[in-house]
Chain A
Amino acid sequence: MNGKSEEESPTNGKPPLEQHARWHFITQRRYDPDRDAELTSAIIYALAAAMDVDPTDVRSPLLHDVVDVPAIEHAFLYGNPDGGSPSGKGSVTFRYREFLVMIDSDGWVRVYGPNGQPEV
């Protein structure tokens, strides 16, 4: 599954985007349902850490307008109705402002920043 930045399509594994000259790893956060309740919160908290602001100060754009979070949750995080474990594997990558966000099916949310000239 790919988000909007298909040219950044990474291989699975540890920070693959380090291989690209355009992005550098900033921060990551493991989605923990007990701690974060919702993937939206985990993503916003990771972005807030990358931006060095309070999570409630991450205002624009609305995450809802950028990426379909429930779709990611259902693909990666929620089990099958018959009790099986989630079968979706891979990652979703999308842009949030100047940042690149990658959600892995193992629950890791990773935020990357642009190197050099930020893309507009």
Chain B
Amino acid sequence: MTDEYHDDSMPDTVVHPSSPPSGTELVPEAILELDHVYQALGHPRRRYLCYSLLENTAWSLTELAVKIASKENDIPEHEVTREQRDKVYVSLYHAHVPKLVNEGVIEFNEQEETITPGEHAGQVLTALSGMGASLDANQESHARSEMDEREE
């Protein structure tokens, strides 16, 4: 890639153009295209969605809305009201999911309303861990937590 995309402030563990592709999703030259990483991580709700990709389970948008509402209101998941959940849901559906789809970070299954990693997910998740998951350790452990019993 051109030097335009090379960021000297990134740790070597993230930007390493000489390392060969090893069967992972990280293609060296694509690592240097960072704009979609910044877009993906530029909003706390999108960061939460990206963290959720670390789980093997494909959460539904409704389940993710409950988790985010729980986190934002600092209440347990089973205490999230329908309105709190739906407020988050519509912003995910109408704003953050389409944004992440456009950036190629996620794919959205419209039938199941689940999100799965997209073409650029690996770079985003590498950036998340490279930036120090300790900063958002709350978010990561929260996203990985088991779903509470929830009422429908």
Contacts and interface: CB of A to CB of B under 8 A. Distances in A.
Nearest to B61: A56
A62 B94 contact: yes
A13 B95 CA distance: 28
Interface stretch (A19-27, A39-47, A82-90, A110-118): A39-47
Interface string B91-102: 101110011000
Nearest to B94: A63
A96 to B, nearest CB: 10
A65 interface: yes
B95 A64 contact: yes
Interface residues of A, number: 17
B91 A64 contact: no
Interface stretch (B11-19, B82-90, B124-132, B139-147): B82-90
The residue in B88, B89, B95 that gathers the most chain A C-beta atoms within 10 A of its C-beta is: B95
Q: Is the interface of A mostly helix, strand, loop or mixed?
A: helix
A53 to B, nearest CB: 12
Contacts, number: 42
A79 to B, nearest CB: 17
B98 A41 contact: no
Nearest to A63: B94
Interface in A59-83: 59, 62-65, 69
A55 interface: yes
Q: Which of B87, B90, B91, B99 has the most CB of A within 10 A?
A: B90
A38 interface: yes
Interface in B69-90: 72, 86-90
B91 A38 contact: yes
A58 B90 contact: yes
Interface in B17-50: none
Contacts of A40: 90-91, 94-95
A56 B89 CA distance: 7
A4 to B, nearest CB: 17
A110 to B, nearest CB: 18
Interface of B: 72, 86-91, 93-95, 98-99
Interface of A: 36-38, 40-41, 44-45, 54-56, 58-59, 62-65, 69
